[in-house]
Structures are given as C-alpha cells and as structure tokens.
Structure 1
C-alpha cells in the first residue's frame, strides 16, 4: 500500500517503521493543514493527528476518494459528520480509540464482565487510566470507550472524570512520564474486588494494530470498527 500519514509525531513515526517493515510505502507525511498537500499518490491514509484538525483532514481524504484509518482522540463530537461524508463519497473508514489488538481483546472482556456484574449491586465500578505527560486529552479515548461499553451493558447512565454521581462511572486519569498506556476496570465491594487490566509496554502495539486495520480496509467501502477487523483476522 501507498500510505499517507496524517500526523507525524511519535505515533506517526512508529507507524512508519511498522508499515515499512511490512512492505508498504510512505508517500506523504501531513502536518496540520492537509490542503497544502497533493494526495494523488496515496492509496490510504492513517490519521494520528490532533483533535482540532481531525475532521477537516479526514473529510478531505474522503473527498479525494482515500479511505482513512483514524486513531485521533478528542474530536468525537464530529464523528457522525465524518461518517456522513465517508458514505457520501463512497469511501472507507475505521475509527478506533485504540488500535492495539490486546486492547481490543480487553474491550471484549470488559463488555462480558459488565454484563455479568450488572446483577450484583453490592459492587461499584471505576476506571483508571495512566498515560505519558504529553497526552493532551483526559480521560483517554480508550477509557471513554470502556465506560461506554459498561453503560451499554448495565444500569449505569453516564461517566465523569474524578467525581461521579451515584449511577455514574468515575474515571481517574493520571499522567506519568514515559507511560505508553495503562487501563484498569475494577468492581469493588466490602468483601472483595474484581479487576481487569491492560498495560501497554510500548507504542508498537498501537502502531501495528493501525497498520493491520489499514491492510484490512484497503479496497473496501463503508464504515467499520476494530471488531470487524478482529473478526476478519480470527
């Protein structure tokens, strides 16, 4: 594949390394203003940019008939607009708050555990996420995805950062130097605790998942998720 990278920070550089190692070509490295670039050589775009330009960059790619794999977080209020443009332009799109294969397996566990725990009202649930100090958004997109899964599979009706009301899920966000990403979901009662946890050891897992998603999306039309990618791999 001929890949354009939208965003060339630490994740973009790691994706470049993984993609080259899998035999792909990086034809473009896009900074904030995508309109300054000629997209004609690219066949697919992997977007790890910043929230303020994500929608513009993604929809511009669709308008140039380029499918997009996006892992940018903090812009999801505009997600439905991106989906609309993708469908209008008959392009392809995968968005994920986290492309790590391990995290997406963790999502599956979280969903199943939420269903199991919903009937046991003695347990309260909370989410903790830890990331490096350069991460701009809090809580992380992954933590929000975990919370939304619990809400969809339980009687919980929302989440809040740090302080949550009785029927909401508290999310605690910590920023520590050189931590790629840790997420923990815990259910606590007076007598015991149950928890599931995912710890990333490097950015390579996120980058590999994004490249695998791009390989899966290549030559497809429509809007997909990492569940679709995983089902295609299994």
Structure 2
C-alpha cells in the first residue's frame, strides 16, 4: 500500500506526522514500513541517518528520493503487497513528476490547520489530487491546533473538506513533536495521537499489512 502524506502548505507538520505514523505502524502494529522522503528539506532522512549512529536496528527504512527517481523506486519497493510505503511529499504542485506519485497512491493523509491560507492550500492540493486520481481515499488531520485558540472558520473548513474525505480528531500543538525520531515517539505524544492513528489504521489498513510468520 502506498500512502502519501502531503499538503501544498509548508509548516503543516506533514514530515513529523509521517514519522509518528511510521513509528506507530512499525512498532505498534507490526507492519513492514518504508518511508520515502521527497521533501526538499529531507528532514526525515537526516533524522534517520543521525539515529542510526545511536541505535542498533532500524524499525523501518528511510529512502531519500526525488520525483524523477520515483518510478524506479516504486517498482523496487512495491514487490510485496503487504508492505506500506509512506511518501513525505514535497510541498508544491507545479511539477509533472507528481502525476505518477498521485496515480499510484492508495491513500492520502493531509495534515492541515484552521486558518484561511492553509485551508485554501489544502483545498487546492485536494482538488489537484482528485483530478489526477479521482478514486483516491483522503484523510484530513487537523494538526498543531492550539487548545486555547478560537477557530472561526472551523465549521466551514470541516464542511468543505468532508466533501472530499474523512476528518480525524484534532492533534494538539505540543513541543513534544520536536522530539520525534525515526526510532521513537515520546510516550506523552502517544496518548494524544493514538486515537487518530488507530482510526486511520482501522479504516484503511486493518487486516492487510501485518507481518506474519
């Protein structure tokens, strides 16, 4: 299964969410996971290389890549249908190299926040995705939401996005997210992310990707 984590808006937290999801799937659900880091900053790949120095066995592989190398990578990595490929997408929509990535995806997870600019970027990303891959399942994750903030457009945003896919529970804005590595999600974060991750797993992955034997 190929899962895209993406949004055109930078700062939506997609790279960190990709790490949290990879940790959850590999360590809690015993899934075979590979992360393809296509983000320009390559933050996941950098954390992976740094963590390898300190740890023993990696729970999953992280592959730095670009759009041009994706067709080759897809053929190489998708030989086992039970494997989960997580793609941290670059934050842009103006490259034709995205079309093969969009067409091959089984699920798109889109972190976003409740502000007008991010909402517009999220809708644009969604419309482009649906135009290229009309049958794709989409999940929208309200991310980095401040507990004491009032979001006047929340109802409108939820109403609009629910036309394209499911909206999960909110993930709060917490400093703990900066401590996530390719080996470790802080226990304090697990308590607030588990319900969202379980929802995604149960709705789209349950029974399909566990390692057996």
**TM-score of the pair, normalised by structure 1:** 0.40
Q: Return the structure number with greater helix share.
A: 2
Name the structure with the higher strand share: 1
**Radius of gyration: which is bigger?**
1
Structure number with greater CO (CA < 8 Å, separation at least 6) is 2
TM-score normalized by structure 2? 0.43
